[in-house]
Chains A and B, each alone.
Chain A
Amino acid sequence: MANGRKGFWRMFESIVAVSILMVFVLSLSIQYVREPAEPIMKIRGYEILENMDKNDKLRGYVMAGDSDGINSAIVIGGYNHSIEICDYSGTCNGTYPDAENIWLSVYYVAGENTYDPREVKLYIW
């Protein structure tokens, strides 16, 4: 009888030990399998456009309406991307992606040699 009770407690202890270990392992693994959050890619898009403008690699393309030129200058590993350039009247030149889960970052340009405002849209998917 005493041995049976001892065995019960030993079993109970091992179950508790395994449970503690499982909680520990699961809580660690959850942190590492989480998908990158959507806001990160959106922010990445803004950073790309901002840096291109700072390096004088954006405005010329924008004013020429050269969406392909801007798109070729962008490299985002693991993702597709496309550019649209829209003028004041809302007319856009470029490629709107045919995809689900698209992240959009926008950048505004007032002009280069003359005032001619444009909106640059960077789509990432």
Chain B
Amino acid sequence: MKRKRMKGQFFLIIAFMLIILFYIGISVYLSPPGISETLSNDIDFIINNIENEYPVAFNLGINESDGPGRVINFTIFARNLLKERNIELYSMIFFTESTGSNVNVTVANFLEEPEYVSVGISGDDRILYVQNGSVNSTIFTDPADIFTLDIIFNSIQKNLLLGKYKSNLYFYTELKKGYDIIVGERKT
């Protein structure tokens, strides 16, 4: 009896397997790079830009005897312009400046809500109530030349090693665009 050989189906199956293998190989090797969500997110660049410009504003302000004022002004400038593009900028900014042998600590709040901020040097902890868009400050008497400023706000706690006779800046920033949020902080 002549055995029927299923040539057609055999070739079809083999062709199908080869196509699958070829497709897998070529799609892995030759596929264009995928466009990730992070690539489409411009707030990475914007927050980097803002973080780099804060110290510039601070230093230029120091030359004009108003370091904190210039940083606050720049924050308001950037916030207003970013709002036009549906991007929200939130900041909490800390400044220290020496006044003789004492240190003046100033806090500027741009977190959209009033905040209770704890600032302390060598166990001398104080609570500052800072309205949104406003500043508050306190003076510490004759701290060490190198001191640690302990700050607590919003569940964020920082211990900053600072020089007494140097103007210092620490800021925490958040940039929000839609559901994307990016957070940054820097001490200078």
Seen from chain A, the residues whose Cβ lies within 8 Å of a Cβ on chain B are: 9-10, 13, 16-17, 20-21, 24, 27-28, 31-32, 34, 37, 39-40, 42-43, 46-47, 50, 86, 88, 105-111, 113-115, 117, 119
Contact A106 B81 (CB under 8 A): yes
Does B31 count as interface, using CB distance less than 8 angstroms? yes
Interface of B is mostly: helix
Question: Interface residues of A: mostly helix, strand, loop or mixed?
Answer: helix
Number of interface residues of B (CB under 8 A): 37
Please give the residue numbers on chain B whose beta carbons come within 8 Å of chain A beta carbons, in ascending order.
Answer: 8-9, 12, 15-16, 19, 22-23, 26-27, 31-32, 35, 39-42, 45-46, 48-50, 53-54, 56-57, 60-61, 63-64, 70, 73-74, 77-78, 81, 85
Chain A residues within an 8 Å CB radius of B61: 115
B45: chain A residues at CB < 8 Å are 43, 46-47, 50, 105
List the 4 closest pairs (A to B, CB-CB), nearest first. A39-B40, A46-B45, A110-B57, A115-B60
Q: How far is the CB of B10 from chain A (nearest CB, A)?
A: 11
B contact residues around A117 at 8 Å (CB): 57, 73-74, 77-78
